[in-house]
Structure 1
Amino acid sequence: MTSRKTNLASPIYHDDDAARAHLESLLWPHGPVCPRCGVTEDRITKLGGKSTRPGVYKCKDCRKPFSVTVGTVMERSHIPLHKWVLAAHFMAASKKGMSALQLQRMMGLASYESAWFLFHRLRECPKSTTPRGPMGGEGKTVEADETYVGGKLSNMHSKKRPPRDVAMDRKHKIVTLVERDGEARSFHVASVTARTIRNVLVTNVSRKSDLRTDGSNIYLGVGAEFASHAWTDHASGEYVRPGAVHSNTAESYFAILKRGVYGSFHSISEAHMHRYLVEFDFRYSTRKWSDAERAEELLRGAKGKRLQYRQPAEATYA
């Protein structure tokens, strides 16, 4: 994609009519489409009565009215459309993420709950920048690594400090796959074991790929199933070997993730960790795009998705 600069003075961030036209250009690039029966522009009429809400169309086949937000994460939202567009830009442009509390302050939203739910709806939008097939392939390298996200024992009061094994068990276990010069896929797992790692790898990475990891025993068995498997021994201070053998790309992903978790969000519940990982994966996988292009792609992903209030409480593990 070509680089484009963001102009925050643009009407799409301040005016609902301009924001609606922007969304229509993204979600309906070839004209209005009925979200219920799928008919296109020649069977659709735009309603223009004085009592009609702006941006309402009517399908001649199913006889139902609709707007550009029907069938998207924005459907039935009371938050103005220009604030949806601005929030999408903030999410796309904030390298280490933005908290819902900061979003509430910056956009003047009525409540923290509105900002929190708005961001969670937007986290449903990212789509893979490549077809959701296997990562890697012949001649390509995929790195795999795991990390633990949670508070440090040293930061806890000595009277409340649990044993180290208990503290590690309380942390979020994250497994990330990164294709060099490509996308990232992260998974919130219940435990880090050879079986879990194998399931993540064989369902997401082409067996023709070259696998690069650290020296943990959990990778040794599954590594034999790929074109090649090489690793570095972090325990002995080895982080790079000749022939570009390292897992530093995945480590750099974790650096950004942890700066976001500890700096912007401070704490993430088990039920929602997978949604935050989608957000960080999306920004990493589109790192060569401009903020404007990334925000537009985020809004395109709003189509065909709904997030209801009862859904966010559901935890998801790989």
Structure 2
Amino acid sequence: MSILSRKEFHDEQAAYDYVEARVWPHGATCPKCGERDRVSKMGGKSTRIGAYKCYKCRKPFTVKVGTIFESSHVPMHIWLQAIYLMCASKKGISSNQLHRTLGVTLKTAWFMSHRIREAMRTEGGAFGVGGGSVEIDETFIGKEPGVTKTKTARGGAHKMKVLTLVDRDTRTAKSVVIDDLRVDTMAKAVAENMSREARMITDEYRQYKHMAKDVAAQHEFVRHSAGEYVRQDDPEIHTNTVEGFYSVFKRGMKGVYQHCQKQHLHRYAAEFDFRYNNRAAKEISDTVRADIALTGIVGKRLTYQTIGA
């Protein structure tokens, strides 16, 4: 039987029950005052599905309040379908495809996908704790706003820039959108996401050499310009892991999403980070990945004006 045949993908009450079980593992909790004991489910034929009342602050609420679902008129079971489809699509799923598959308008599909990406987004961590190895590389996507490509311009100066760190020990990735490739800009992004005691592994790009002493305990690199992709004297020195991450990221950005404004790029990057960090290689199924995304919906509310600004 298809996973999308499950009850929570078609029945609204079942969908609310499914989300409540993951957002409120210890029972319904008032999002206004945090009360858990003096809370009860509201009854009556005219009562909306999933409505509760807090008898401490006297406010009614549902599991949508304070999450990416707040103020949305899209049925909860449609939200669950969208989350599952985005979590199960290795290279992403376009708003046009969601619009056609879910039967919502294109504008609604675009809005939903950005809210879901926000649920997938995590704050900076500490890669390379305990002296672990962290691969770092940069890539170029689309076009930098306000920058015109010239005949004398070199490399990706006219493109948007993404810096990605991959921790080999935890097998997780973190991508950061940066404005330029200056040493201080790149060093700041690395320092915010990598432990000072880490071993940094990069290619021979000079910016990494200049920042290494300030952000890492050790710096190793391979010389791609000389045809070296794995250090002969130490097979652990390579950037193949982060480049493998980019192979999926760039296929998705070019083949599925195609056009992305810089103000939204950090959410698209977070989407690919999320799927990579919760991938099948870690024995995480599509269903479990969608459940993990659901745990990130709280406190992530976005308005259309916020996203479209």
1:169 maps to 157
The reply to whether residue 115 of structure 1 matches residue 109 of structure 2 is yes
What's the secondary structure of 2:162's corresponding residue? strand
Q: Which has the higher contact order (CA 8 A, sep 6+)?
A: 1
Structure 2: distance between partners of 1:50 and 1:78: 20
1:73 maps to 68
2:290 maps to 295
Q: TM-score, normalised by structure 2?
A: 0.92
Structure 1: distance between partners of 2:98 and 2:175: 25
The reply to whether residue 10 of structure 1 matches residue 2 of structure 2 is no
- Provide the aligned C-alpha RMSD in A: 1.9
1:186 maps to 175
1:255 maps to 247
2:224 maps to 234
The letter of the residue matching 2:241 is T
Q: Please state how far the C-alpha of 1:295 moved relative to its aligned partner.
A: 0.2
Contact 1:6–1:291 (8 Å) recurs in 2: no
Against the structure 1 CA distance between its residues 194 and 262, is the aligned structure 2 distance closer, same or farther, given a 3 Å change threshold?
A: same
Structure 2: distance between partners of 1:208 and 1:113: 46
2:206 maps to 217
Q: Please state how far the C-alpha of 1:234 moved relative to its aligned partner.
A: 1.0
What's the secondary structure of 1:165's corresponding residue? coil
Matched length: 298
What's the secondary structure of 2:118's corresponding residue? coil
What's the secondary structure of 1:142's corresponding residue? strand
Q: Please state how far the C-alpha of 1:161 moved relative to its aligned partner.
A: 7.9
The letter of the residue matching 1:19 is A
Contact 1:211–1:228 (8 Å) recurs in 2: yes
Deviations 1:25-73 (A, max 9, x none): 0101110000000000x20021101111111100001100001111111
Contact 2:125–2:192 (8 Å) recurs in 1: no
What's the secondary structure of 1:76's corresponding residue? coil
The letter of the residue matching 1:309 is Y
Identity %: 42
Q: Which runs of 4+ in 1 moved over 4 A?
A: none
1:155 maps to none
Structure 1 residues without counterparts, runs of 5 or longer? 152-159
1:4-83 correspondence to structure 2 within 5 Å:
7-40=3-36, 42-83=37-78
Structure 2: distance between partners of 1:220 and 1:141: 16
1:154 maps to none
Against the structure 1 CA distance between its residues 82 and 255, is the aligned structure 2 distance closer, same or farther, given a 3 Å change threshold?
A: same
What's the secondary structure of 1:169's corresponding residue? coil
Deviations 1:58-111 (A, max 9, x none): 0001100001111111011111110100110011111100100001111111x1
Structure 1: distance between partners of 2:41 and 2:176: 44
